[in-house]
Amino acid sequence: MYIIHSTFIVPPHKADEVIGIYQSRSGNVDQAEGFVKFLLLLNEAKAGELTVHMEWESKEAYLAWVTSEEYKQIQALERQYPDPELAGIVPRIGRFMVVAT
C-alpha cells in the first residue's frame, strides 16, 4: 500500500470554506485504478492545518493517477481558484510505503 499526505495551512477563517470544497469534491480520483481511500484531516492542535490523506494499492497506481489527464485538469482548476488567499497555498507532500499493519 502507498499513502500520500498533502498538508497545507489555510487562514483559520477560511478553514470551513476549504473543508466545504473537499466535502463536495468531484470524486474523480475515486474511480482511478488502484485508489483505495480519501480522507481530509483537520489538525486539532494547529488552526487551519489540513491534510489530504490518500491510500493507493501501489506506488505505480498513484503515479499513473498523477500523470493522467484528469489529474492535470484538477490541478489546473485549483491554480485558478479566485480567492488569492487560497490560490497561492503550496502543500507539503509526504509519500509513504506501508511496511507493517
Every domain of the chain and the residues it spans? 2-97
Please state which architecture CATH assigns to domain 2-97: 2-Layer Sandwich (3.30)
Burial 1-16 (b: 16+ CB within 10 A, else e): bbbbbebbbbeeeebe
pLDDT for 83: 82
Quickly count helices (H) and strands (E) in the chain.
4, 4
pLDDT tens, 36-86? 999 999 999 999 999 999 999 999 999 999 999 988 888 777 766 778 888
H-assigned helices in 5-54:
15-23
Both ends of the chain: CA-CA distance in Å?
A: 10
Average pLDDT score over residue span 93-100:
97
DSSP strand pairing (92-97 vs 2-9):
antiparallel
Distances (CA, A) of 37 to 55, 77, 86: 5, 22, 25
86: closest CA among 12, 1, 6, 25? 12
